[in-house]
Amino acid sequence: MIEEKVATKEEKVSPLKLNMAQYFVVALLVILAGGLWRLQVVNAEGYRTQAEQNRVRKVPIMAPRGKIFDREGRLLVDNYASVSCYLLREPARDWSIELPMIAQGLHMTVEQIESVVRKYQFAPKYQPIPLKQDISPDEIAFIEAHRNELPELETLDEQRRLYPKGGFAAHLIGYVGEISENDLNREKYAFYQAGDVVGKSGVEATYDAVLRGTDGARDVIVDSRGHEVGQLGQQDPVPGQDLRLAVDLDLQVAAEKAMEGKSGAMVAIDPHTGEVLAMVSRPTYDPNQFAVRLSKEYWNQILKDPDHPMMNKAIQAQLAPGSTFKIIMSYAGLEEGVAQDMHVNCSGGGTFFGHFFGCDLHHGAVNIHNAIPLSCDTFYYTLAERLQIDTIAKYAASLGIGQKTGIDLPDEVSGTMPSTAWKLKNFHDKWYAGEVISVGIGQGAVQASPVQLARALSGIASGGSLRRPHVLLDGQLPAQYQKAIYDIYPGSGDKQVPLQPENWQIITDAMAETLNTGTAATAHLEGIDFIGKTGTAQVMSHLALARSGGGKRTVPNSWFVGMTPRRNPDIVVAVLWENGNGGWNSAKLAAQVVNTFVEKQRRKARNLLSSADVQKQKGNSLQNP
């Protein structure tokens, strides 16, 4: 009896243990209920999406990029049909084991494929990876023949850029390429994704948002092995907008021919509107090399070229303008009332601030009327001494020297117009009076680009009216979008500077004599009111030249800015020929474009007259049957 009582007592569970067991069961149920709540309520949409992704694949449909035409509707940039291979990263399939087979079929190395995949490692798994672009027919056949073994490979039809051959207008048009990691971190590309093709330079970059369009997509049903078994729907792509440039193809061809084999730039502008009629930079590059996949060999070739083929020298070359700056000096001297009655006897140079500054020739008696066509340095040394640097800087700045013009192309430079404030800010030093002498002939610290000089000198010839240069033909974009472009590329824009009519006449008549009896007489065009100013700018000091031993790169740069007619011109052409020697050489190049322009205008006028005669004859025949 005593033993039974002891056994019963030992078998009895204590209330504490029982309560602990109950609490544990309740806690477990709460955890399970919470997990079910998260799965079925809180995260239901997310898991539903993942489930959809397991059976529905989104295949992109690339939007064709807008075409680019010249001002008369002639095609400059087209698209061509291309096929690209994309890699689909299915969550349920380990495609990495197939890499050797994929690499062999696509004529790639395993390392190349792994490099591409690493680039997209943080992209969403449902986003296809562009594995190889513009694949060949045998690579397409390989993918089709291995659909069952390699369902992760997909071919997509795309439209790719087709640029003119030989780098024609390459710096103006630009090129496209795959967006870089640095670009993806910029605000401008906030809505872009890795793998997107974007404009990298020129018009392609400036108007990328207009040209690129909106991609579409197909929602296809796939089985557990990734094979397509049906289609749910399709969102069609929206093609990019076509654009017409202000460029005249005939003038562009003439400018390209004139600059062939040279290093430098040429730009032609309509001063009435600011429309860029032609733009050439040499040497050039082939944008088609960038449109698909750029080879290391070609990239290294253009990078090592000392003449910088990737630079658009029309807007990015910052060089001393030489004697073309004398037109700006003449404008400043006349408006200040200094140059009208100034007479200088040129005996081959002059002494200023204790130093002798030479002139190319002994010009004898020189005044403002013959100083421009003779390009007499002695006259402009004297004028610079009288005006002093801040007065010169005031007038030069009013014409946009030392400032961006605001042209709608990326990476324009501002150039340099020195002044006392400029030197103090940049060099923490005062301006010495003798430094102004070199500035007077466009040397020293003065630096300008061809597009700046074209705008400045044509502004003077237009009576003080300056227009913002632009490459897109007016009226194609909404006003708000156009204003946004101008905000992105700020500059001195449209403006009017004071210019007395009598001073306007003096300068333009003297520029006409430059092409008749002056420094550019060899570029004279018979029957055409062709005016301009030459410039020869040293690339190094006389001491450095003596030590260099000569060579091509020690030859002075050749400048010329010309226009027609002499007052309120219809076209202005600025030429920079690097190491081209005398400015008269560049004048001959500009003359080719001006002659092409005038002859074309005359043909149009004759055609209009002929059409009018035909209409008149038709009218007479109706009245007198």
357: Cβ contacts below 8 Å, ≥ 6 apart: 349, 350, 351, 377, 378, 381, 437, 438
Task: Read off the tokens for 246.
Answer: 């202000």
The mean pLDDT value for 107-125 works out to 81
620: Cβ contacts below 8 Å, ≥ 6 apart: none
The secondary structure element, H or E, covering residue 125 is: none
Least confident of 27-31, 84-88, 552-556, 558-562: 27-31
Average pLDDT of the chain is 86
Task: Read off the tokens for 52.
Answer: 């959809």
According to DSSP, the residues that pair with 85 across neighbouring strands are 132, 155
Determine the pLDDT at residue 40: 64
Q: Domains of the chain by range and CATH? A: 58-244 (3.90.1310.10), 249-605 (3.40.710.10)
Determine the pLDDT at residue 159: 83
Length of the chain as a residue count: 625
Q: Please give the Cα distance from 8 to 250 (Å, whole number).
A: 114
What is the 3-state secondary structure of 568-605?
Answer: CCCEEEEEEECCCCCHHHHHHHHHHHHHHHHHHHHHHH
| Each residue's pLDDT tens digit, 324-380 | 999 999 999 999 999 999 999 999 999 999 999 999 899 999 999 999 999 999 999
Determine the pLDDT at residue 6: 45
Cβ(552)–Cβ(306) under 8 Å? no
Q: Using alpha carbons only, give the angle 178, 315, 414 rounded to the nearest 5 degrees.
A: 110
Residue 13: is it exposed, middle or buried by C-beta count within 10 angstroms (0-12/13-18/19+)? exposed
Phi-psi region of 379 (alpha: psi -120 to 50; beta: other; left: phi over 0): alpha
**pLDDT interval class at 2 (50, 70, 90):** very low
The mean pLDDT value for 555-569 works out to 95
Helices 326-335 and 450-461: crossing angle in degrees, nearest 10, is 40
CA distances to 74, 85, 86, 350 from 138, rounded to whole Å, are: 35, 12, 16, 75
What beta strand segments (E) does 239-275 contain? 243-244, 264-269
Return the DSSP state at 390: H
What beta strand segments (E) does 38-163 contain? 56-61, 68-69, 75-87, 129-132, 153-162
Q: Are strands 75-87 and 68-69 parallel, antiparallel or unpaired?
A: antiparallel
346: Cβ contacts below 8 Å, ≥ 6 apart: 359, 361, 362, 363, 364, 365, 366, 376, 378, 379
Q: Please give the Cα distance from 75 to 247 (Å, whole number).
A: 11
What DSSP string describes 413-470?
Answer: ---B---HHHHHHHHSSPPPGGGHHHHTTT-TT-BB-HHHHHHHHHHHHTTSEE---B
**pLDDT interval class at 618 (50, 70, 90):** low
Neighbours of 623 (CB within 10 A): 7
% of the chain residues with pLDDT over 70: 84
Burial 253-272 (b: 16+ CB within 10 A, else e): ebbbebbeebbbbbbbbbbe
Q: Please give the Cα distance from 611 to 330 (Å, whole number).
A: 45
